[in-house]
Amino acid sequence: MPREYFTLARKARLRTEDIMENKTKNPTMPWKIVSIVLAVALIAVSCTWAITAANKPAAPAAGTTAGTTAAASEAVTEAASKAEESADMLNLWTENAPLKKQLTEYINAVTDSSSADFIPVERRIAVFDMDGTLCCETDPGYFDHKLLYHRVMEDPDYKDKASAEEKETCAIIKTYFETGSYPSGLDVKHGTAVATAFKGMTTEEFDAYVKAYRDQPTEGYENMTNGQAFYRPMLQVIEYLQANDFKVYVVSGTDRLITRGLVDGVINIPLAQMIGSDESLVGSSQNGEDGLKYTFSKDDKLVTGGDFLIKNLKMNKVSAISREIGLQPVLSFGNSSGDEAMANYTINNNPYKAAAFMLCCDDLERENGNIEKADKMRASCEKNGYTAVSMKDDWTTIYGEGVTRKAKGN
């Protein structure tokens, strides 16, 4: 404590004694005493604060070695924490999987507000194909093709009503199932047959039909239903992106209503983020009247109209993304030539850092793989700048424990 403080205190004490001695001579003296004591206390506190501040070590200024070291240490700790979190969220991917490394580095860059690659949350758009990218398309074929075949050839409530065209389409589908080779023109034939075979159903009835078939056992696997035939490593990718504020869309060649019925409850996204091929929807009392003239009434129900409108593949995927999302995606995930237009649209002329990933069906033990098709996709990845994903080498599991592929012929 400075000597001046003690001097002031001593003078104050002496002055107080003098005042008290003269108290009887001056009746207003008590309030003066209080004032003096408070003044002395204020001086003492001020001196104490000044001494403490003078002896406290100064904080390192911005730009000094200590400040830079602390900031760098904090950044390293944050990066390590994010890397650990990413590894945990993608733990069904092998350590050397190119997607795992590239995607985590990408996410770290585009979510860092100080990075030149930062992407605002509203522009974090990721698009995923469905069949062969998120779920099995080889049991023995696409889910929507199996659904149509069941409706036309097996459903006791409909098979006797099926048209000759629907049965002809299903005969082609059966050949596709048996050979694994997809015939030219089947995509449109199939879309047309789906529209007619389910004509007149309300959207709720159609959804219930899809979900009932979704719950049926898969043909080529033990302990798995059609609705469980989703690739678990890819579901992890979706959850990882959502954890980093990405908006995820499923952009499928499958009919939109079938896509919704299959995906609903499996992937946590709204129905509005499920885009697919389209068929007509009409009022139950519309009776063929043009939609520009007909007014949906209070007694109407929304039903399938029986007309196939568009197959959502190749350029049609790009058009659908532009119409329904309105923003260019920054991430694209697919597995076939039908997805290449979407991938090219994503990674080219994009104002933000973008990437595309393509699955290669090269697993012959856990999946009904096709090496020729896988090699063709790898060549496309090399040519177009996509990252190839190997089901065989990059995934520790496909469908999870307890699911086994049946031997051929069983």
Q: pTM to 2 decimals? A: 0.81
Each residue's pLDDT tens digit, 164-208: 999 999 999 999 999 999 999 999 999 999 999 999 999 999 999
Q: What's the pLDDT score for residue 53?
A: 46
Please report, as a single letter, which amino acid is at residue 126.
A
The DSSP code for 218 is P
Q: What's the pLDDT score for residue 19?
A: 42
Best CA proximity match to 163, nearest among 196, 211, 115: 196
Q: In this predicted model, which residue has the larger pLDDT, 277 or 55?
A: 277
Phi-psi bin for 58: left (phi > 0), alpha (psi -120 to 50), beta?
beta
Q: Which helix (H) or strand (E) holds 313?
A: none
Best-predicted range by mean pLDDT among 38-47, 56-65, 311-320?
311-320
CATH label, 126-405, candidates 3.40.50.1000, 3.30.1380.20, 3.30.420.10, 3.30.70.260: 3.40.50.1000
Tokens of 276: 């697919």
Q: In this predicted model, which residue has the larger pLDDT, 5 or 157?
A: 157
Q: Per this entry, what is the length of the chain?
A: 410
3-class DSSP state of 26: coil
pLDDT band at 1 (very low <50, low <70, confident <90, very high): very low
CA distance 84 to 90: 10
The DSSP code for 339 is G
Taking residue 229's Cβ as centre, other Cβ atoms within 10 Å add up to 23
Tokens of 163: 């048209």
pLDDT band at 146 (very low <50, low <70, confident <90, very high): very high
CA distance 407 to 397: 18
pLDDT band at 2 (very low <50, low <70, confident <90, very high): very low
- How many CA atoms, within 13 angstroms, populate the side-chain half-sphere of residue 55? 7
Tokens of 206: 């159609």
Residues 6+ apart with CB under 8 A from 114: none
Average pLDDT, the chain: 87
Q: Is the pLDDT of residue 248 over 70?
A: yes
Q: What's the pLDDT score for residue 73?
A: 59
Q: In this predicted model, which residue has the larger pLDDT, 41 or 205?
A: 205
Q: Is the pLDDT of residue 309 over 90?
A: yes
Q: What's the pLDDT score for residue 36?
A: 44
pLDDT band at 30 (very low <50, low <70, confident <90, very high): very low
- How many CA atoms, within 13 angstroms, populate the side-chain half-sphere of residue 206? 26
pLDDT band at 408 (very low <50, low <70, confident <90, very high): confident
Q: What share of the chain is helix, strand, coil (3-state, %, to 5)?
A: 50, 15, 35
Q: Is the pLDDT of residue 42 over 60?
A: no
pLDDT band at 235 (very low <50, low <70, confident <90, very high): very high
Q: Is the pLDDT of residue 299 over 50?
A: yes
Q: What's the pLDDT score for residue 125?
A: 98
Q: Is the pLDDT of residue 33 over 60?
A: no
Percent over 70 (pLDDT), the chain: 79
The dihedral sign for the CA sequence 328, 333, 334, 337: positive
Across 145-157, average pLDDT: 98
Q: What's the pLDDT score for residue 218?
A: 97
Taking residue 328's Cβ as centre, other Cβ atoms within 10 Å add up to 20
Q: In this predicted model, which residue has the larger pLDDT, 50 or 352?
A: 352
